[in-house]
Amino acid sequence: MEASVEQLVFVRDDAYTVARMSAEGHPAFVAAGRALGGVQPGETLHLTGDWEEHPRHGRRLAVTACERITPSTIRAIQLYLGSGLIRGIGPRLAQAIVGHFGERSLAVIDAEPARLREVIGIGPIRQGQIVEAWADQKAIAHLMVLLQGYGVSPLLAAKIYQVFGADSAEVLAKDPYQLIGRVRGIAFATADRIALRSGVPEGSPQRIQAALLDRLDAAASGGGHCFLSPTALVTQTIDLIEQDEELIRQGLDALTADRRVAREADAVYPKELHARELRLTTELTRLAGARSTLRLRPYQEDDTLNDDQRAAVTMALTSTLSILTGGPGCGKSHTVKAIAATVRAMGGTVTLCAPTGKAAKRLSELTGLPAMTIHRMLAYEPDPEALFDERPVRADLVVVDEASMLDLGLATRLAAALPSGGHLLLVGDGDQLPSVGPGSVLTDVLRVESVPRVRLTQVFRQAEGSAIIRAAHRIRAGELPALPGGGGFWFEELDDPTAIADRVVHLATVAIPRKQGVSPGQVQVLAPMRKGTAGTAELGRRLQDVLNPAADDKPEHWSGSTCFRVGDRVMPIRNNYDKGVFNGETGTITRLVPEDRQVDVLIDDGEPVTYTFDELDDLTHAYAISVHRAQGSEYPFVVAPLVAESGGIMLRRRLLYTLVTRARSWVVLVGQRTALDLAVHRLDRRRNTSLTARLEAAGM
């Protein structure tokens, strides 16, 4: 049957789609199936399928084949043009175009675009936008067909076209491995499927080298490793593509000769990570070995500090590189405040910063002093034409809080920006999760014995009464917290993953807000995993349905398998220096304009930011987020599922410790006792890095 897409209801990553449809002479109905992958509201489709009775959702068409066709009726054409698919055309302009050209509207846009200016409201600029968008949509539709032929999700078509434009089809046919790393959502497995179906031999050097690079990238992005041993790299590549070991070793030699990887003794690095590790070693050695430019003067000691805190003040004043560490409730922030006050009393300057906006805000609140993100501090770009190497940060003391979040890239930029003779104090909890990105900078520097450090261990009286802090310290020691808990920490035991997810949603949206007298916005759901019944993706979808459901008067746009609506809580997942937004900040969608294909987001404590529909891969919903993305943040109430699905691969002590310490008033864990035991007793694997050895070899 022929039908038009009225609204998308559900889209899965594998392209399985549920949509509300309308058809001439038929009541509205629901269609579902993977064949619908990539369709958008307003499109007209020729559907083949069977009617079925779904146990939960009732009668619907199970689609087995779907072909896009040109809308032919006035209503279908107006729906298509007004859907936001064609940039520059909204519902009102669609009505005007159809009112003027009738059933020939699409033919005019395609073959006689100059005639669009006959319509009131369309000038040369708008006409150009419409013509360009029309061509883009035709190209993307063609790509969708190609991808389906390769057995790949058509949801990737728009992303591929955004990167490669008119060359997209040629890239798919000749060198699909170019897609890896350049198109979000495409890793080796997808590119390889396209390549093999395009006729690329299984043992081709091109394929083997792409597989080797993929294993290095997976080690960095999935495990935080800076390198793999040659043996591990070859073994993992054999497991991935099942090719002869000698061929794979030849591929590794070719990558090394082309300098696409860096090889040292028993380590193979992606070239960028190798360069950063070398540079960070140079910069930290320079900072640690420089003569201090801070002028020491007599100062009044703070009598509210204990002995360890006073030692930390002295260390920060006398060492150009030092570390302050300790668990929750041990007074790190109060110590930082005292250090900053002392430097200022001596006439020096202090800059406080943290890796994320929320961490910087929290640091400012705890110390009563201004703080900023590291990214904003580094926003100044020195003049490349300058005679001297100007470093952008000019403070006598730079304090970096939540330093466990520093990955290799950010740490390198930070260290390179500091002048010799200035003081750098890293503040963090070495038992927290390491950075999302590769490297374990804080842990690596702590292993260098010559670097001055003070570890605060005394829990202050006001913190001793917190069940959250008591639970956190027991977890850090490898002991189960007191169960089920009380006074801020609570464990609710359930076994079935679906029941766990149901309970988490109810606690976050109904039970805690009602009992505590707060809005659901004060409750943050955290989860160890992205996938699964109780993962961030499914929980986020369910929370959105409760807290910000679809409505006829609420604009929405589907980007892949994610639906963005006005009112959604969102989080940037990529730094964008042009927009001034950074990974980990949160905001709210305030406006969504289909005809302009853009979304306006008001960042918390920041400025409004605009994202085009093509940039929505940079945003994710913030209803349920991973524990890694919550680093540096603190929430009044936290609810989290604990499920040992897929072996509970993410359930480790550092993750649980970090999760629990994200809550200020209450943390409620819902899940399996076996999952809690696993998380408390399983230690993290050590990341493959050489920073410690390099620093020691450099004389530190």
Instruction: Enumerate the known binding-site residues.
Output: 329-333
Measured between alpha carbons, how far is 324 from 454 in angstroms, rounded to an integer? 5
Cβ 330 vs Cβ 458: under 8 Å: yes
Measured between alpha carbons, how far is 676 from 644 in angstroms, rounded to an integer? 9
Work out the burial of residue 59: count CB atoms within 10 Å of its CB; fewer than 13 is exposed, 13-18 middle, 19 or more buried: exposed
The residue written with tokens 């490349």 in the block is 384
Cβ 4 vs Cβ 43: under 8 Å: yes
Closest CA to 471 of 680, 684, 660: 660
Closest CA to 405 of 357, 351, 355: 355
The 3-state secondary structure of 103-137 reads HHHHHHHHHCHHHHHHCCCCCHHHHHHHHHHHHHH
Measured between alpha carbons, how far is 610 from 597 in angstroms, rounded to an integer? 10
Structure tokens at 515: 């009992």
Cβ 268 vs Cβ 216: under 8 Å: yes
Measured between alpha carbons, how far is 474 from 657 in angstroms, rounded to an integer? 9
Who's near 318: CB < 8 A, 6+ residues apart?
292, 296
Classify strands 44-54 and 598-603 as parallel, antiparallel or unpaired: unpaired
Closest CA to 375 of 159, 89, 81, 580: 580
Cβ 122 vs Cβ 105: under 8 Å: no
> Using the 8-state DSSP alphabet, how is residue 64 labeled?
E
C-alpha dihedral sign at 71, 76, 82, 83? negative
> 520 preceded by cis ω (within 30°)?
no
Counting Cα atoms < 13 Å in the Cβ hemisphere of 160 gives: 30
Helix axes 230-241, 245-257, angle to 10 degrees: 120
Residue 308's SS3 state is: helix
Cβ 343 vs Cβ 396: under 8 Å: yes
Residue 670: other Cβ atoms inside 10 A: 23
Binding site for ATP: residue ranges?
329-333
